[in-house]
Structure 1
Amino acid sequence: MMTAPGRVRPSPGPVEATPRVLCVGATSESWLALSRALRPLRCVALQVPSLESAFLEVQHTRPSLVLVHWRQLVAGAGMGLRALRLRLGGDGPPVVLVAEPETPAEVLEVGDAEGVEDCLLSPLRTHELRARLAMLAGGGVPAASVRASRVRSRLLLLAGASGPLAWSGLGALLEACGHRILYSATVGGGAARVAEQGERPDLVLSREGAPGVPRGLPSPRLQPLLAGVPSLTLDADAPVRPASLLPRIHALLGREDASLRVEARVRFCCPVSFGESGPRGAEWRSGVSSALSPGGLLVRTLVPAKAGTAVELHILLPTLGERLETHGVVAWAHAYAPRNGVSHPYGMGVRFLGMGPPRLMQLRQLCQAEVRP
C-alpha cells in the first residue's frame, strides 16, 4: 500500500556568512546606543575595551567591520590603531571611527593619519550601519550605479614612484582628485600588472632614469596595451612641482577643471554629514573630511553618493564649535570595493555650490589659518 508523500522540504540554499562587527571602546551610553542600532541588523556584535585587546581579538575573529570609539585615539596617539591596522592587513576589514560633534580635530587628524577610512557620528543610526554592511556584502549599490561611477574614475600608471608621498606628494594629490593610481618601479612592470587586472591605463607618468630606478620598457606583448595612451615623462633631475603638473595632467586626460583646485587644499579634518537632495527629503549619512579648500572638500566614507549627485552638507567645525551648512555636487566617488593593488581613497570629492560671500570668506580664513606655521 502506497502512502501519500509528505511535504517536500526545499533544498537549503547557500548560507550567507553572518557579518561580525568588532566594537572597540569602553562601555558607555554611546556604545549602548550602538548595540541598539546593531540589534535589528542580524549581525554578531563583539565588544572589546581597548585597541590592545582588539589586537588580540582579531587573532581568532574575522570581523567584517571594525568600529573604534574616538576616545581610544587620545591616550595612545594612534599607536594602537596603527598596530591594529597592520594586524588586519591590506585586505582586511575597514576601520571606522565613531565620533561625536565635540570630538577634537586633533583626534580626527590622528585617525586620518593612521588609516581610518570612514566616520560615523554618534548617536548612531541603524540605516547608516545597514548601508555599510550591505556595501561590504556587495549589495549596497546597484551594479549599474557602480559601473557608472567607475567609468569616471581614471587609472593612472606612475612609473618610478613608490607611493602617494613620492614626487613631492603628487600621487596623493592625484588620488584626492578621484584618480586611481598604480605605483610601479618601471613602465614595463606597471603595464604587466595592469594587464593582469584586464584594464588599460588612461595616462602613464614616468620618471625613469632617476638614480636607483631601473628603466624597464614593456615587452612586445604588452606594447599594444599602451598604444595610444597619453604619457608624460618628468625630468629625473628637476624637482617635481605638483601644482604646475596637475593642469597638464588633466589636459592630457581631457578633463576640465574637475580637480576641485586640489593644489589649494589644506589638511582639515572634521565630521561631515551629507544628504542627497530629492522630493522625499534627504537620508543623511556621515563621513569625515580630510582636506578642505574654498572650492570643495574630500569626504572619506565607504558609502558615498554617486558622481553627479547634488548633496546638502553639514560640516562640523571643531575649532569654532559651529556647523557650516551648504550645498554641493559630487565630482567623483569611490564606493567600497577591493583595490587590487590600485591606490585610491574611499569616499567622494564634493564641489561647493552657491556658497555665499560670508561663508566663502570664513572658509578662506580657515584654510589660511591651517597653512600658517
Structure 2
Amino acid sequence: MFRRERSIPLRGSAAALCNNLSVLQLPACSLTHFGVVHGPSAQLLSAVPEGVPLAQRQLHAKEGPGVSPPLITQVHWCVLPFRVLLVLTSHRGIQMYESDGSVMVYWHALDAGDASLVQAVFARGIAASGHFICVGTWSGRVLVFDIPAKGPNIVLNEELAGHRTPVTDIATEPAQEQEPTGEKGKGSSCLSPQDCVADMVTADDSGLLCVWRSGPEFKLLTRIPGFGVPCPSVQLWQGTIAAGYGNGQVRLYEASTGTLRVQIDAHARAICALDLAPEVGKLLSAAEDTFVHIWKLNRSQEGGYVEVEHCHGECVPDTQVCGARFCDPSGSSFAVTGYDLAEILRFSSM
C-alpha cells in the first residue's frame, strides 16, 4: 500500500505529453531531481525525501529557424557508466546538458529535408545504452550518439532504420547474457545466442516494436507488429518487454523472440507512461483514466514465463495523468504529473 506524501509545487503546469516526468535519484546527496515539460520550457526541481523543494531551474528549447519558439517534447536524465547527462528534445533539435542543467554540452539540429510541408518535425524517445544515447525522431529513425567520458565531443554514431512512423519511446537495460528460449519471432535474424542478446526496444505511433542488440553497431533482432493503436511507452526488464498501448492494454513480450506472454486490460483509456523498479520487478502504469497501477512481475523457473500480480491502484481525481515514475530502484515511492496540474504528486509505501 502507498500513501500520499507532500507534493512538490511547479511554477507552471505539466503539458499533455506522454512520459512527461523524468526522475533522477542521488542517494549520496539525499536528493531527487524531477524534470517536467511545459510548452517551450522544461522545469527542473531538486527535493529532499520529505518533498521540500531546494532548487528550481528553467531550460528553454534552443532557437532554430522559424518564427515561433520550439516546443519541447521530452526531458530525460541518461545515466551512463561514467557520467549523467540531461537530454532535452524539441521540434528543432536535441540538446544535451550536464546533469544539473547548468551547461549545454551538445546541440543537434533536426534535418527537415525529408519531411513534407504538412509533417511535423520533432524528436521524442530518449534512452542510454552503454556509452550511447539513443533518441527517436518523427521519421521513425533512431539517432545513436557516442558519448565520451567527459567533454562535449559527442558524435552521431549511426541512424537506426526500423520504423516507418514516428518513434514514441525507447527502453534499454544492461545486456542479459543468457541463451534465449522459445521459437524465434517474426523478423528475427539471430545467428547465435550472443547475437540474440536483446537490450533495447523502440516503439512507434503504429504500435510496432523493434528489438535491438546494442554495441559498436546496433543490430535489429526482431519486429513485434502493432495492432492498430499506438504504443506511447515501453520498458525492458530481464529480457521481458512491457508495452503500454493507446487502448489501455499492457502487453508483456519475450524480448529475444517477440512472443506474447501476458496481456492485461489495465486501464480504461490510453496509457501515457510505464516505469520499472529493476531491483524488485515492479511495473508502474499510468493512463488518461486518472489511475496509476503497480504490478509485480515474476519470471517462472520453468519455461521463462512471466507471472503478474496487481499490487496497488491509485486514483488522481479529475486529472489526466501524463507522467509517472518510480523515485527509487526498489519501487518504494513514485511520483505523478497531470495535465494542467501545477504540482508533482508523491506517494510512498506504508
TM-score range, shorter chain: under 0.3
Greater C-alpha Rg: 1
Higher helix fraction (1 or 2): 1
